[in-house]
Amino acid sequence: MVAALRSSMAGRPTVVPEPGRLVWSWFIELSSTRTYHPAGPNAVSFAEIEAWARLSGWTLQAHHIRLLRALDAAWLDVAYASRGDGKTKPKKPSGALSADAFDAVFG
pLDDT at 22: 95
pLDDT at 2: 86
For strand 40-41 and strand 36-37, is the pairing parallel, antiparallel, or unpaired? Answer: antiparallel
Residue 86 has pLDDT above 70, yes or no: no
pLDDT at 92: 57
pLDDT averaged over every residue in the chain? 86
Rounded Cα distance between 52 and 58, Å, is 8
Q: Which residue has the higher pLDDT, 105 or 50?
A: 50
User: Residue 72 — pLDDT band, cuts 50, 70, 90?
Assistant: very high
Q: Determine the residue type at 36.
A: Y
List all residues 6 or more positions away from 93 whose beta carbon is below 8 Å from its beta carbon: 101
Residue 58 has pLDDT above 80, yes or no: yes
DSSP 26-71: HHHHHHTT--EETTEEPPPPHHHHHHHHHHHT----HHHHHHHHHH
